[in-house]
Amino acid sequence: MDRARTVKAPAFLDRNWVSSCGLISGQQRGRLVLDLSGTERIDSAGVCFIELLGRMYHEQGGQFAVQGARPGIAKQLDGGKAARAVVTAAPPNEGLFLRLGGGLVSAVGVAVDAISMFAEMLYWSTIGLFRRQDIKKGAVYEQMYQLGYKAVGIITLLSFLIGVVLSLQSAIQLKNLGMGIFLVPLIGITMIRQMGPLLTAIILAGRTGSATTAEIATMVVGEEVDALRTMGINPMQYIMAPKFWAISLTMPLLSIIATAAGIFGGYVIALLYLDFNTSMFLKELVKVIKLEHILAGCFKSMVFSWLIIWVGCYFGFRVRGGAEAVGRETTSSVVVGIFIIIVANAVFSFIM
């Protein structure tokens, strides 16, 4: 049997001594006796330190004891034990497969919840309207103003700048090859089929998606959603349906505005850098643009709008907790929203 090692604690067993004594680090084997005969005061760190040492020695097969504690100190140490007795035990250390399985089950749960939210959104915004109309009068127009009209400025400006940058980069290469004339189909088709809808969707995912999540999450946290339920008002329809229709109607229009602004950016570069004139640019543009390109762009932007509002609502309704949770879900909503839009755009590029 090892001889017991005795350590004398100071008069004030506080957090400074706990950090410097070095008893926590290393192996907790053999026997350790902590002599508290000279200890007059002890702080919370000291109480927890003694409790922790006892547990660590016990778990590693060693022995730990306290001696000479004065009645006041002993009472504090007993208080520490009593307080911890009601604390829920820490979760057991799970194995790799258990954690992987748990993660998979949780991911499936999230996917099922998200899909069911999408189905509910489509139902309550369309067929569900024939069953009940829990929508406030004028809510769709209000949302169209908030989600659509107020985004026109930023979307126009950014699309114009993207059109300028895209055209400038292309024009340099095309001019070197003597194919400057191809700038018009390049910028025209790119903006109509890809950049117009995509840029609009990304801007709205950041702007509208985050606003939607923050609004709904704040309502959930403030029990406003529960209040709607107890008033017999369907919160899905009351909150989601106006947003669904507003974004479905405004997003294709915003996408057309973005496309026009981007093409205008290309026109400016063509004029300044490639010595085009207006009629030449328009003639080339009309030649390449077909109705199917415009319809494809509109269809894409319509689908993107549903994805934005779906993600925004999903993260808003799933919030649990307080203000911090609202911020966390809003961030997740923007990240996931942009990610889903880019993935959907990639899928559309293959099939359309």
Among residues 159, 160, 195, 174, the alpha carbon closest in space to that of 276 is found at 174
CB 317 within 8 A of CB 218: no
Q: Report the first-to-last Cα separation within the chain, whole angstroms.
A: 80
> At its nearest, how many Å lie between other proteins and the CB of residue 164?
38
Sole window of 195-203, 222-230, 249-257, 305-313 interacting with other proteins (rule: CB under 8 A): 222-230
Residue (40 or 142) nearer to other proteins, CB: 142
233 lies in the binding site for other proteins (CB under 8 A):
yes
226 lies in the binding site for other proteins (CB under 8 A):
yes
Please give the Cα distance from 35 to 33 (Å, whole number): 6
218 lies in the binding site for other proteins (CB under 8 A):
yes
Total residues binding other proteins (CB under 8 A): 21
Residue from 25, 93, 176, 230 in contact with other proteins (CB under 8 A): 230
Among residues 193, 302, 197, 200, the alpha carbon closest in space to that of 244 is found at 302
134 lies in the binding site for other proteins (CB under 8 A):
yes
Please give the Cα distance from 32 to 132 (Å, whole number): 73
Task: Give the pair of three-digit tokens for residue 255.
Answer: 């996408």
137 lies in the binding site for other proteins (CB under 8 A):
yes
94: three-class secondary structure by DSSP: coil
Residue from 22, 91, 232, 322 in contact with other proteins (CB under 8 A): 232
- For 41, 75, 79, 176, 275, the CA distances from 70, given in Å and listed in that order, are 10, 9, 14, 91, 95
219 lies in the binding site for other proteins (CB under 8 A):
yes
How much is the CA Rg of the chain, to the nearest whole Å? Answer: 32
231 lies in the binding site for other proteins (CB under 8 A):
yes
Sole window of 19-27, 131-139, 192-200, 338-346 interacting with other proteins (rule: CB under 8 A): 131-139
Residue from 81, 136, 150, 290 in contact with other proteins (CB under 8 A): 136
3 lies in the binding site for other proteins (CB under 8 A):
no
222 lies in the binding site for other proteins (CB under 8 A):
yes
Residue (15 or 136) nearer to other proteins, CB: 136
Sole window of 19-27, 102-110, 233-241, 337-345 interacting with other proteins (rule: CB under 8 A): 233-241
Task: Give the pair of three-digit tokens for residue 101.
Answer: 């399985």
Sole window of 103-111, 133-141, 292-300, 310-318 interacting with other proteins (rule: CB under 8 A): 133-141
CA 215 to chain centre: 14
Please give the Cα distance from 64 to 241 (Å, whole number): 65
5 lies in the binding site for other proteins (CB under 8 A):
no
223 lies in the binding site for other proteins (CB under 8 A):
yes
CB 167 within 8 A of CB 269: yes
Beta-strand runs (E) in the chain: 5-8, 12-13, 31-35, 41-42, 63-67
Please give the Cα distance from 252 to 298 (Å, whole number): 5
Sole window of 45-53, 128-136, 261-269, 298-306 interacting with other proteins (rule: CB under 8 A): 128-136
26 lies in the binding site for other proteins (CB under 8 A):
no
Residue from 5, 29, 131, 150 in contact with other proteins (CB under 8 A): 131
287 lies in the binding site for other proteins (CB under 8 A):
no
Q: Around Cβ 35, how many Cβ atoms within 10 Å?
A: 15
CB 55 within 8 A of CB 80: no
Please give the Cα distance from 189 to 284 (Å, whole number): 12
119 lies in the binding site for other proteins (CB under 8 A):
no
274 lies in the binding site for other proteins (CB under 8 A):
no
Contact residues toward other proteins (CB under 8 A) are 131-132, 134, 136-137, 215, 218-219, 222-224, 226-234, 236
